[in-house]
Amino acid sequence: MLSWALTFLVIALIAAALGFGGIAGTSAGIAQILFFIFLALFVISMIARLMNGRSRF
């Protein structure tokens, strides 16, 4: 999931550098949405690990 966010971020940066505003905006929006989904899943997994009580460290 994070790799998709980074991929769309790179596409947005390249499109912005080449002057394709619509493509850059769309790619940046997709990257932002995927990043926040990844962040939410990360936080949920950390809370689940804390609730479980087992630590591997």
pLDDT per position as a tens digit, 1-56: 667 777 877 887 887 777 776 777 887 888 888 888 888 988 888 888 888 876 56
**Is the torsion defined by CA of 19, 23, 26, 30 positive or negative?**
negative
> Which helix (DSSP H) or strand (DSSP E) does residue 35 occupy?
helix 21-52
* pLDDT at position 57 over 60: no
pLDDT in the model for residue 41: 86
Say if 57 falls within a structural domain: no
Say if 8 falls within a structural domain: yes
> What pTM was computed for the model?
0.58
Say if 29 falls within a structural domain: yes
With H, G, I as helix, E, B as strand and everything else as coil, classify residue 55: coil
Q: How far apart are CA 16 and CA 56, in angstroms?
A: 44
Lookup result for tokens 């609730």 = 51
Say if 48 falls within a structural domain: yes
Structural domain span for residue 32: 2-52
Number of domains making up the chain = 1
pLDDT in the model for residue 2: 67
pLDDT in the model for residue 6: 78
Say if 11 falls within a structural domain: yes
